[in-house]
């Protein structure tokens, strides 16, 4: 068990990348704490799987180094890295029983059969597979097969990190929740580092202590779910996490103050950033409310989601979303909205002003 460090990693699937867009993974350095539960979150095609395969050793990075503890494993193949991986589609060895499937990684490593037997039964019990150990693996349902995939990782006592590549894709909705809580429970029992790739924010936020948000081949933010919600470092994080996502409104800057709709908008900190570029205000719908005065808007539509209504309003051509609690009225024409200054931030070229 050890910390995983990625040093100046960069990867391209092309033989000689020239342009920025040629890199599937742009230069990054990331540390994964030993025993942490991480989620790797981002839209499809943002480089999540590439990053995962670099850690597991299925792919060797074009540039940079991978360290497990104080050991450089960049050139080591997947089977000597002590990693386990659960894939999007369940991988089981069809002709074998569940028992033999679980024993397979140990047998390949020449471990004594009595040790294997003890370990396989232990893991089988942990995954609620005890009753099916003697059955053919091909006969199990998708969630059973995913448990086998996971079990093949868990049987190895030396396993450093277990990686999940969108493991719940083919699982029935009502079983997703069951399997997810099982993972959480296993993480506490086994104590191995777990990295969970997903494009589903609910999966990421419920599973992980730390969420790594990726966008376009870059890590945009690493933080706890609360941090991602309250202090999104990038407009992408604000927009991707939360439902509905953060409002991102074009604004002007005058004398260190944000100007929107001809009015000065109070933000968290005065803007001390000297960077030039596209400036925007970011404020979550949770922190926008109807007010007696402020920004004049027209109400466009409202969707009832139970305890709240999502209301979309417009100022000129700019659309703003806000949450209105149940029981509160939505004003008709001539409405105004205001932003909660403690949760309103300015972003320059997508990045939070003042941050990096």
Residues that bind another protein (CB under 8 A): 53, 56, 58, 77-79, 83-85, 87-89, 91, 93-96, 104-105, 108-109, 136, 138-139, 149, 152-153
Nearer to another protein, 169 or 266 (CB): 169
Residue 96 C-beta: closest distance to another protein, Å: 7
Task: Give the other-Cβ count within 10 Å of 210's Cβ.
Answer: 17
Residue 44 C-beta: closest distance to another protein, Å: 17
Distances (CA, A) of 92 to 128, 166, 168: 17, 16, 15
> What number of CA atoms fall less than 13 Å from residue 87's CA on the CB side?
6
Residue 151 C-beta: closest distance to another protein, Å: 11
Nearer to another protein, 15 or 306 (CB): 15
Alpha helical stretches, state H, the chain: 48-56, 98-108, 113-126, 142-154, 173-190, 201-207, 225-230, 235-240
Nearer to another protein, 90 or 282 (CB): 90
Nearer to another protein, 73 or 249 (CB): 73
Per residue in 193-208, is it b (16+ CB within 10 Å) or e — as a string? Answer: bbbbbbbebebbbebb
Nearer to another protein, 85 or 201 (CB): 85
Nearer to another protein, 104 or 339 (CB): 104
Helix (H, G, I), strand (E, B) or coil at 314: strand
Find out whether the peptide bond into 221 is cis, omega within 30 degrees of 0: no
Q: Indicate the angle between helix axes 98-108 and 113-126, nearest 10 degrees.
A: 130
Question: What's the full length of the chain, in residues?
Answer: 356
Residue 124 C-beta: closest distance to another protein, Å: 17
Collect all residues with Cβ–Cβ distance below 8 Å to 53 and sequence separation of at least 6. 59
Residue 86 C-beta: closest distance to another protein, Å: 9
Residue 338 C-beta: closest distance to another protein, Å: 51
Residue 219 C-beta: closest distance to another protein, Å: 23
Residue 11 C-beta: closest distance to another protein, Å: 16
Q: Is the dihedral of CA 58, 64, 67, 72 positive or negative?
A: positive
Nearer to another protein, 93 or 177 (CB): 93
Nearer to another protein, 94 or 230 (CB): 94
Nearest alpha carbon to residue 220 among 248, 239, 245, 200:
239
> What number of CA atoms fall less than 13 Å from residue 322's CA on the CB side?
24
Nearer to another protein, 11 or 234 (CB): 11
Residue 157 C-beta: closest distance to another protein, Å: 14
Query: In what side-by-side order are the strands of the sheet with 279-283?
Result: 247-250, 279-283, 344-348, 351-352
Collect all residues with Cβ–Cβ distance below 8 Å to 230 and sequence separation of at least 6. 343
């Amino acid at each position: 068990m050890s910390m995983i460090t990625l040093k100046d990693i960069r990867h391209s699937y092309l033989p000689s990348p020239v342009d920025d867009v040629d890199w599937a993974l742009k230069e990054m350095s990331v540390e994964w704490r030993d025993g942490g539960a991480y989620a790797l979150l981002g839209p499809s095609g943002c480089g999540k799987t590439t990053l995962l395969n670099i850690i597991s050793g299925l792919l060797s990075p074009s540039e940079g180094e991978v360290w497990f503890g104080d050991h450089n494993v960049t050139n080591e193949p997947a089977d000597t890295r002590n990693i386990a991986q659960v894939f999007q589609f369940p991988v089981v060895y069809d002709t074998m029983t569940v028992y033999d499937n679980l024993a397979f990684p140990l047998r390949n490593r020449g471990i004594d059969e009595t040790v294997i037997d003890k370990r396989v039964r232990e893991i089988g019990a942990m995954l609620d597979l005890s009753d099916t150990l003697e059955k053919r693996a091909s006969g199990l349902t998708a969630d059973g097969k995913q448990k086998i995939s996971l079990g093949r990782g868990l049987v190895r006592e030396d396993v450093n990190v277990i990686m999940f590549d969108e493991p719940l894709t083919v699982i029935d909705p009502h079983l997703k929740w069951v399997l997810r809580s099982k993972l959480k429970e296993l993480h506490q029992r086994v104590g191995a580092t777990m990295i969970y790739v997903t494009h589903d924010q609910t999966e990421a936020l419920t599973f992980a202590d730390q969420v790594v948000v990726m966008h376009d081949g870059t890590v945009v933010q690493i933080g706890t779910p609360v941090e991602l919600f309250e202090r999104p470092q990038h407009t992408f994080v604000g927009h991707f996490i939360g439902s509905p996502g953060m409002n991102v409104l074009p604004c002007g800057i005058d004398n260190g103050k944000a100007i929107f709709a001809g009015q000065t908008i109070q933000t968290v900190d005065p803007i001390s950033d000297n960077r030039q570029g596209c400036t925007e205000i970011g404020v979550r719908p949770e922190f926008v409310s109807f007010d007696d005065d402020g920004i004049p808007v027209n109400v466009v539509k409202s969707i009832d989601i139970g305890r709240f209504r999502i209301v979309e309003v417009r100022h000129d051509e700019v659309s703003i979303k806000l949450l209105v609690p149940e029981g509160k009225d939505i004003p008709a024409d001539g409405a105004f909205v205001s932003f909660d200054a403690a949760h309103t931030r300015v972003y320059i070229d997508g990045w939070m002003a003042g941050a990096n």
